[in-house]
A and B are shown apart, each in its own frame.
Chain A
């Protein structure tokens, strides 16, 4: 009975150590770069909101939906949260003018669209002040190594090897002021990192969360860009 307890505690100890090691080392390092080009002052009034959209007219390199959702949710929460209208609500409310093949690609086209009385009325109703067009993707590159997993007799799984890959996020946002019909600025967020999975029996993934970091940086940038006074508020390091 005593031996059984010791064995159980030893197993628990090993499991706890593995979890602790995995937990502590599961986030890889990420290098980030953010840039901002401001072309005009910005402000957002009561009842006004922002829409964050992705370009969908390209045949490749389309921005992932979950990145747009991540940025929208982050801009809409935390310190300096800004009112957000979701991409789907906006394209439905303005159908068919912001569909993949009909959305304006530049300010001249936007002006033509929003000067139509029906569209102008609808945009006024839904209170959209800024359109933030996001382009870019996260790509995985330079994969190397290998990982082999097998079952030993008795059904015990085990993995051996070393796998690594580079990930890079490169996103750019163009901010359009619908009310004034002009581009007010461009923001960019880049992040790069190396992920690896060493495995000696137990694989321990160390993942560089580049997209999450790019999302967090882009969201903070959008907040401080629209509300410049927020720039003086210290942003905690992620």
Chain B
């Protein structure tokens, strides 16, 4: 008996077969085995997501300053990859979201935002003072420069924690420069997001749930940054050093 619609070469066996599987399965068996394979697939396999999102413009009073911003390559290409024992490989690509999110937030936080980059092109920031220029090679007048970077990304799935949530943490570092490119301080920033597994179907929930949790982590970081920025001691010192009045 040959199953209708499936040739011998077109049949992928979910378990090793000694004989040709296509010869031993009828249409009903195929449905049953397909369902079983789907169930097995629901237990393992990890997830791979790419988040290309931004956040709404924050409702905050802007600081009266012209602020330069520099996004290093490691930030805008950031990908977190991790193999979870028993749960498979996970890949979270958040690089494409970084510049849109920070530009949206900084545009609301400062009266004027200027994209900048080091005059000496390298992929990442050198240790000493840096001469920043505009992305068109010009020398714009700015009060200071901020360069965000990602220190670490962590995530957890409900099977690990025993809870209801897919969770994502993004730990940022904001390096604060004066107009001369001197490192004046650093500000840690954590974005946390979670997604309730109950809001997703039982099968195939990992990818959309992790995507949702990551978006909330980006929103969390943006919210934290726009609301608490000036409350931080490092920021107060930096603003004082560059001669900018807090709002």
Interface stretch (choices B39-47, B53-61, B75-83, B141-149): B53-61
Chain A residue contacts of B220, Cβ below 8 A: 99-101
Q: Are A151's CB and B223's CB within 8 A?
A: no
Query: In whole angstroms, how far apart are the Cα atoms of A92 and B163 in the complex?
Result: 27
What are 21 A-B contacts defined by CB distance under 8 Å? Answer: A56-B194, A62-B164, A62-B165, A62-B198, A92-B56, A94-B59, A96-B59, A96-B60, A96-B226, A96-B227, A100-B220, A101-B224, A118-B59, A118-B60, A118-B61, A119-B59, A122-B59, A137-B198, A155-B28, A155-B29, A157-B32
Whether a CB of chain B sits under 8 angstroms from the CB of A66 is yes
Whether a CB of chain B sits under 8 angstroms from the CB of A64 is yes
A96-B227, A100-B220, A155-B28 as given contacts; A60 in contact with B58, CB under 8 Å: no
Kindly count the residue-residue contacts between A and B in the assembled complex, taking CB atoms under 8 Å apart: 65
- Please list the residues of chain A having a beta carbon within 8 angstroms of any beta carbon in chain B: 56, 59-60, 62, 64-66, 92-97, 99-102, 116, 118-119, 122, 137, 151, 155-157
Choose among A64, A97, A99 the residue that contacts B199 (Cβ–Cβ < 8 A): A64
- Enumerate the 5 nearest inter-chain pairs by beta-carbon distance, A residue then B residue, closest first: A96-B223, A155-B28, A95-B56, A65-B199, A92-B56
Q: Quick one: which of B167-214 are within 8 Å of A by CB?
A: 192, 194, 196, 198-199
Chain A residue contacts of B29, Cβ below 8 A: 151, 155
Q: Are B222's CB and A96's CB within 8 A?
A: yes
Chain B residue contacts of A157, Cβ below 8 A: 28, 32
Choose among B27, B56, B227 the residue that contacts A93 (Cβ–Cβ < 8 A): B56
Query: In whole angstroms, how far apart are the Cα atoms of A100 and B191 in the complex?
Result: 12
- The smallest beta-carbon distance between A222 and chain B, in angstroms, is 22
**0 or 1 for each of B35-71: is its CB under 8 Å from A? (1 = yes):** 0000000000000000000011111110000000000
Chain B residue contacts of A97, Cβ below 8 A: 59, 227
- The smallest beta-carbon distance between B46 and chain A, in angstroms, is 24
Q: Are B223's CB and A64's CB within 8 A?
A: no
Q: Are B59's CB and A99's CB within 8 A?
A: no
- The smallest beta-carbon distance between B26 and chain A, in angstroms, is 5
Choose among B26, B196, B223 the residue that contacts A65 (Cβ–Cβ < 8 A): B196
B58 (CB) vs chain A CBs: closest residue = A96
Main secondary structure of the interface of A (DSSP, over half): loop
- The smallest beta-carbon distance between B57 and chain A, in angstroms, is 7
A157 (CB) vs chain B CBs: closest residue = B28
A93-B56, A151-B32 as given contacts; A66 in contact with B199, CB under 8 Å: yes
Q: Quick one: which of B14-41 are within 8 Å of A by CB?
A: 26-29, 32
Query: In whole angstroms, how far apart are the Cα atoms of A182 and B195 in the complex?
Result: 30
Chain B residue contacts of A60, Cβ below 8 A: 163-164
Q: Are A155's CB and B216's CB within 8 A?
A: no
Choose among B27, B164, B223 the residue that contacts A95 (Cβ–Cβ < 8 A): B223
A64-B198, A95-B55, A95-B56 as given contacts; A102 in contact with B227, CB under 8 Å: yes
Choose among A64, A93, A99, A119 the residue that contacts B219 (Cβ–Cβ < 8 A): A99
A93 (CB) vs chain B CBs: closest residue = B56
- The smallest beta-carbon distance between A125 and chain B, in angstroms, is 11
Chain B residue contacts of A92, Cβ below 8 A: 56
Q: Quick one: which of B122-178 are within 8 Å of A by CB?
A: 163-165
Chain A residue contacts of B163, Cβ below 8 A: 59-60
Q: Are B196's CB and A95's CB within 8 A?
A: no
Chain A residue contacts of B55, Cβ below 8 A: 95
| Additional 4 contacts, C-beta under 8 A, given A64-B196, A100-B194 | A99-B223, A118-B61, A119-B59, A155-B27
Query: In whole angstroms, how far apart are the Cα atoms of A66 and B200 in the complex?
Result: 10
Chain B residue contacts of A94, Cβ below 8 A: 59
